[in-house]
Amino acid sequence: MAKRIIISGGGTGGHIFPAVAIAHALKRLAPDTQLLFVGAIGRMEMEKVPAAGYEIVGLDIQGINRQSLWKNLALPFKLYKSLRRARQIIRDFKPDVAVGVGGYASGPLLLAASGMGIPCLIQEQNSYAGITNKRLGRKVDRICVAFEGMDRFFSKDKLLFTGNPIRRESVDIQHKRAEALEYFGMSPGRKTILLTGGSLGARTLNECMLQGLGSLVAADVQLIWQCGQYYYEALKPMVAEKYPDRITLTAFLHRMDLAYAAADIIIARAGAGTIAELCAVGKPVILVPSPNVAEDHQTKNAKALVDRNAAVMVTDAEAPLHLIQTALQLLGDEARCSTLRTHIAELAILDADEVIAREVLQLANRKD
């Protein structure tokens, strides 16, 4: 009999892409599986999940606003409303398993599902568990993690080390360098930096690059720069029109595989999903953790790689003074690049999506 599975969460690409990867893996392993996504109204999963071919329904839920406490006044009412809506979704869909991947919608859906006796699994992507997942951890049946030492947050008997699901098509870079350089209009004779600020862009990274363009051009370096939709129109006249033969500026990278293939080094934030892809790609990486995340988990993610000599880290505060200089020094140090390539590739886990999907299906069979 076909299994019915709800996958909840989202908010950023770091939650959405793993969720979709798990869904794809479930369909590969059990093609008759029926899937329903639950997201947060107004968040990017409401667009990205249907684009990936899956049905999604939304909850009217928000996260805690740490900059403006008065904006949290409606949160208890939205949480109550979302719990009621989540229970109704569960009654209508009748899932065999509920899966949470993090993000606003994950909390209410998993709370409702666990309270209604539905087997539940959460996928904790970061090296430091967030508040919601720590609370859910006491109620769910299985917790899939991507970093060692997570028993300091969760019951050890519920843990399964899986790694983070990755977009397989994005890390398929073998024998694509020539195609990639042509795609982005880059020269084979120059070193290439890829800067990616994630699906939403990153202000600090964009400002650092804008200030450092002269240094990069003087060093005969070329740049693939994913800046985010919010920043693109403002940066375009200052960047793409001034350096058309050196810089490819884009709001979003539709061919991530070619961007990775073209790069000699990569500068990125330290979201868990990004790190999982970077390990699979195996290129030298400079991580600039975002300071605007719960429990500063991106710094902890980055340190997990730095401690294994698998990446370089520049803090967000240090980046304006040191990021460009660090990147140029790394480009000129082949021995250091070789060490970083070796160590980061050792951390790659390529089948996390199927390992998690098999665990989900086992929970579904256990319900029978």
Residue-wise pLDDT tens digits, 327-350:
999 999 999 999 999 999 999 999
pLDDT recorded at residue 9: 86
Q: Is 336 annotated as a binding residue?
A: no
The three state secondary structure string of 106-125 is HHHHHHHHHHCCCCEEEEEC
pLDDT band at 23 (very low <50, low <70, confident <90, very high): very high
pLDDT recorded at residue 1: 82
pLDDT band at 65 (very low <50, low <70, confident <90, very high): low
Number of other residues whose CB lies within 10 A of the CB of residue 229: 12
Please state, rounded to an integer, the average pLDDT across all residues of the chain. 91
Q: 311, 274 in Cβ contact below 8 A?
A: no
Q: Any idea which residue has 């870079």 for tokens? A: 173
pLDDT recorded at residue 15: 82
CA distances from 128 to 132, 147, 166, 192 (A): 12, 9, 19, 32
Q: Is 226 annotated as a binding residue?
A: no
**pLDDT at residue 291 greater than cutoff 60:** yes
210: closest CA among 232, 192, 189, 191? Answer: 232
Rounded Cα distance between 116 and 90, Å, is 9
Mean pLDDT of 77-105: 91
Report the run of H or E that residue 300 belongs to, with start and end: helix 297-306
pLDDT recorded at residue 244: 78
Rounded Cα distance between 337 and 260, Å, is 15
Tokens of 47: 């667009």
Mean pLDDT of 29-44: 94
pLDDT band at 79 (very low <50, low <70, confident <90, very high): confident
Q: Is 87 annotated as a binding residue?
A: no
Q: 285, 276 in Cβ contact below 8 A?
A: no
89 phi/psi in degrees, rounded to 5? -60, -45
For the chain, helix, strand, coil in percent to 5 are 50, 15, 35
Q: 72, 64 in Cβ contact below 8 A?
A: yes
* Least confident segment among 26-30, 111-115, 167-171, 193-197: 167-171
pLDDT recorded at residue 68: 57
* Angle in degrees, CA 265, 266, 272, rounded to 5: 140
**pLDDT at residue 70 greater than cutoff 60:** no
Rounded Cα distance between 124 and 122, Å, is 6
Residue-wise pLDDT tens digits, 115-133:
999 999 999 988 888 778 8
Mean pLDDT of 237-248: 82
276: closest CA among 363, 336, 355? Answer: 355
Task: Please return the burial class of 214, using the count of CB atoms within 10 Å of its CB with bins 0-12, 13-18 and 19+.
Answer: exposed
Q: 266, 281 in Cβ contact below 8 A?
A: yes
CA distances from 346 to 254, 266, 273, 279, 283 (A): 27, 17, 17, 8, 12
**pLDDT at residue 67 greater than cutoff 70:** no
**pLDDT at residue 76 greater than cutoff 80:** no
Q: Is 298 annotated as a binding residue?
A: yes
Q: Is 126 annotated as a binding residue?
A: yes
pLDDT band at 72 (very low <50, low <70, confident <90, very high): low
In order of their start, the domains of the chain are: 4-165+350-367 (3.40.50.2000), 169-345 (3.40.50.2000)
